[in-house]
């Protein structure tokens, strides 16, 4: 109870401070929309947000794709350190397969359109990459094995492609124009489209890989270690794995998902 009261007090203070900051905010000294609109003609694209993302503030996007690559490298390292049992992902449902078969080409088309539309209207590499990842996740849910993952060389190259193309274009601009990511005049549109294409592939592949690199649902390491895992049906009496103690005192392990276990609210749920 004291914990909840303290948390409530802290959050009220936090909200109050934010509200004061909102009310007392300074008037911005620089008119950013006007600055963007004034230089939009030289940016190579006609949509202001794409221009900001890939020309005026391209460092942000460069570092963003680096962060994504870092996340997937961490997931890969964990995957190496803790191998999974064979992946038998996929719901074997013919209806799902038929629907996915009709949907995936449309999703690929949408991704391509979003990428192309990014130059002139809402759209761009991020949205296209997200749709691409969604298509990959749907295929995985339907149990369709995607090619290109098994010898991991091609897969890893695809993950790094976005950052590599971005860095190559930036370095090329540095050599040609004397400024990192300062696109030469007249080339900006084509270079931005090339970067966006690579970014789309890498973002889609990164999100899909982060989904693939989690331990699969069919995975049960206990089954091989201890036969009682096959008898114990529920996590309220998990088999001791490595830490030497069964965690029967944990009250919030069980979740109710319409299964045969009664759903139990968290002991720590706020009133």
Partner 1 sequence: MPWLDLTLALALIVTAALALSTGDLFRAVVMFIVFGLVMALAWVRLEAPDIALAEAAIGAGLTGVLLLDTLGYLNRRFRPVEPDRNEAP
Partner 2 sequence: MNGAMLFPWVGIVLCAMGLFAFIVHRHLLRRLLAFNVMGSGTFLVLVGLAQDGRGVDPVPQALVLTGIVVAVASTALALVIFRRWYRVSGHARLPEDV
Please tell me what DSSP assigns to residue 202. H
Q: Smaller CB distance to partner 2: residue 69 or 169? A: 69
19 binds partner 2 (CB under 8 A): yes
Q: Smaller CB distance to partner 1: residue 45 or 173? A: 45
CA nearest to 136, candidates 226, 207, 224? 207
* Site residues, partner 1 (CB under 8 A): 49, 85, 114, 122-124, 126-127, 130-131, 133-134, 137, 141, 207, 210-211, 214-215, 217-220, 222-223, 229-230, 232-235, 238-239, 253, 255-259, 261, 263-266, 269-270
Angstrom distance (rounded) from CA 15 to CA 24: 14
Question: What values do phi and psi take at 166, rounded to 5?
Answer: -60, -50
Angstrom distance (rounded) from CA 231 to CA 161: 47
Binding mask 78-117 for partner 2 (x = CB under 8 A): x---x-----------------------------------
Three-class SS state of 229:
helix
Q: Where are the alpha helices (DSSP H) in 118-219?
A: 125-141, 152-177, 188-212
234 binds, among partner 2, partner 1, none (CB under 5 to 8 A by kind): partner 1
247 binds, among partner 1, partner 2, none (CB under 5 to 8 A by kind): partner 2
3 binds partner 2 (CB under 8 A): yes
Q: Smaller CB distance to partner 1: residue 150 or 252? A: 252
Minimum Å gap between C-beta 24 and partner 1 is 22
Q: Which residue has the tokens 């460092």?
A: 59
Instruction: Write the CA distances from 121 to 117, 133, 181, integer angstroms.
Output: 6, 22, 23
For residues 77 and 87, the answer to whether their CB atoms sit within 8 Å is no
Angstrom distance (rounded) from CA 106 to CA 135: 9
- Measure the CA angle with vertex 122, ends 118 and 125; round to 5°: 40
Contact set with partner 2 (CB under 8 A): 3-4, 7-8, 10-12, 14-15, 18-19, 22, 25, 32-33, 36, 48-49, 51-53, 56-57, 60-61, 64, 67-68, 71-72, 74-75, 78, 82, 124, 126, 129-130, 203, 206-207, 210-211, 213-215, 219, 221, 235, 238-239, 241-243, 247, 250, 252-253, 266, 268-270
């Amino acid at each position: 109870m004291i914990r909840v009261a303290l948390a409530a007090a802290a959050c009220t203070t936090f909200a109050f401070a934010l509200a004061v900051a909102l009310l007392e905010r300074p008037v911005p000294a620089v008119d950013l929309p006007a600055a963007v609109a004034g230089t939009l003609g030289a940016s190579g694209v006609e949509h202001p947000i794409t221009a900001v993302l890939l020309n005026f503030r391209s460092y942000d996007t460069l570092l963003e794709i680096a962060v994504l690559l870092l996340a997937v490298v961490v997931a890969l390292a964990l995957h190496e350190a803790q191998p999974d049992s064979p992946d038998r992902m996929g719901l074997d449902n013919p209806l799902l397969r038929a629907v996915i078969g009709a949907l995936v080409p449309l999703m690929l088309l949408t991704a391509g359109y979003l990428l192309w539309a990014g130059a002139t209207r809402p759209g761009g590499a991020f949205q296209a990459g997200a749709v691409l990842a969604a298509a990959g996740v749907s295929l995985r849910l339907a149990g369709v094995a995607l090619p290109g993952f098994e010898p991991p060389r091609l897969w890893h190259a695809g993950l790094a492609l976005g950052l590599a193309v971005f860095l190559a274009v930036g370095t090329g601009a540095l050599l040609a124009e004397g400024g990192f990511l300062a696109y030469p005049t007249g080339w900006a549109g084509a270079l931005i489209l090339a970067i966006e294409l690579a970014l789309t592939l890498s973002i889609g592949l990164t999100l899909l890989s982060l989904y693939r690199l989690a331990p699969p649902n069919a995975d049960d390491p206990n089954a091989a270690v201890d036969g009682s895992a096959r008898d114990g049906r529920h996590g309220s009496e998990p088999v001791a794995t490595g830490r030497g103690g069964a965690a029967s005192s944990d009250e919030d392990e069980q979740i109710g998902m319409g299964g045969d276990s009664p759903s139990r609210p968290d002991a720590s749920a706020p009133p």
